[in-house]
Structure 1
Amino acid sequence: MPPSAPAPPRRLPRISAGRLWAGGIGTAIVVALVIVVGVMLVRGVLQIPVLAAEGAGTYGTATTTTYAFAGAVIAIVATALLHLLLLFMPRPMQFFYWIAALVTAVAVLLPFTFSAQWEAQIATAAINLVAGVCLMSILGSIGSSSVLPDEGGYPTGRM
């Protein structure tokens, strides 16, 4: 019986890192703005005092800036995770969507673990949900479009 030919070495998929990371930075900006707009809507229009006392105005305090900055940092971390998944995981987008959905679920539940008014907890959970869905949808489409076709012009088929 002749020896079988060795399996060809596994090639890493070709990823447009520039496109992925530019999209990740754009996503971070959008997520931060979603949080700011959400806080301003909740505080200014709905008159629910999230993240600061009622007299702090529509924007609130520096806590709103910290909240928005944290959302942007989470989007950058999610971009790094997506980059790793695209390089090394089978069906990377499926893993990304599951991880992002579960982290979003934690972010939605988190406000209910703190002592605050019920309305403020619900409003914060809603802002977290919208920010999470925003991150998931934008980074998901960017991740898929960042995988380049192989030399034969065909997508890698790993999505």
Structure 2
Amino acid sequence: MTGPADYRGYPGYDERRESGRRPTVAAGRLWATGVATAAVAALAAVVVTLLVRGVFGVAVFAPRHAGAWGDATTGYLAAVSAGAALVATGLLHLLLVTTAEPRRFFVCITSLVTVAMMLLPFANGLGLAAEFGTAAVYLAVGAAVTGLLSAAAGSVV
């Protein structure tokens, strides 16, 4: 019969689990990272919206006459993106203290949410260019949140 001691030295083996100790999370650092990620997510939403509207001339999140910056909807999009990053930080915190392989679960969950958000515009009957432009904005925000928080996960435990 094999016991936990037989798996030492293998990638992913966690000696803290064997000793019964729960991993401790540097919550202050995690949430500071989450706030910084929220700022990046908001900026990513604005920059990609500016790219899609101003450079490619596709009206996303506002009527065409609103110009490259759009209207108040662009600000709402940035705020929702920042809020999503904070929700993702909460999810990561929960996974770090409760699950084995929290980073893998986090990446899977946030990637699936990102894909779902990217598919959403295609179900609303927008024009094809607006659908792809909207999906690009959601991809940029989702990739920023997933990448930044999953990279920080190892340094806060």
Q: Shorter-chain TM-score: which interval?
A: 0.7 to 0.9
Q: How does 1:47-66 map to 2 (within 5 A)?
A: 47-66=57-76
CA deviation vs aligned residue, 1:33-80 (integer Å, no higher than 9, x gap): 000001111111111111111110111111111111111111000000
SS in 1 for 2:23: coil
**RMSD of aligned C-alpha atoms?**
1.2
**Higher Cα Rg: structure 1 or 2?**
1
Correspondence 1:11 to 2:21: yes
Deviation at 1:133, TM superposition (A): 1.0
| 1:127, distance to aligned residue in structure 2 (A) | 1.3
SS in 2 for 1:66: helix
Q: What residue number does 2:105 align with?
A: 95
For 1:69, the equivalent position in structure 2 comes to 79
1:29 aligns with 2:43: no
Q: Can you give the 5+ residue segments of structure 2 that lack an aligned partner in the other structure?
A: 1-17
| Shift, 1:10, TM fit | 3.0
Aligned residue in 2 for 1:151: none
Q: TM-score, normalised by structure 1?
A: 0.84
Which letter maps to 1:13? P
Q: Distance in 2 between matches of 1:146 and 1:63?
A: 35
Partner amino acid for 2:117?
Answer: A
Q: How many angstroms apart in 1 are the aligned matches of 2:54 and 2:109?
A: 33
Match of 2:117?
107
**Structure 1, unaligned runs of 5 or more:** 1-7, 148-159
Amino acid at match of 1:92: P
Partner AA of 1:51 in structure 2 = F
Which of residues 127, 135, 144 in structure 1 aligns to 2:145? 135
Higher relative helix content? 2
Q: Structure 1 residue 123 and structure 2 residue 138: aligned?
A: no
Identity of matched residues, % = 44
Q: Which amino acid aligns with 2:45?
A: I
Letter in 2 for 1:125: A
Q: Distance in 2 between matches of 1:146 and 1:9?
A: 20
Q: Which residue type is aligned with residue 67 of structure 2?
A: G
Report deviation, 1:115. 2.6
In the TM superposition, what is the alpha-carbon distance from 1:9 to its structure 2 partner?
A: 7.5
Q: Report the count of equivalent residues.
A: 140
Letter in 2 for 1:99: I
Equivalents in 2 of 1:100, 1:52: separation in Å? 26
TM-score of the pair, normalised by structure 2: 0.85
* Residues in 1 aligned to 2:113 and 2:64: alpha-carbon distance in whole angstroms: 30
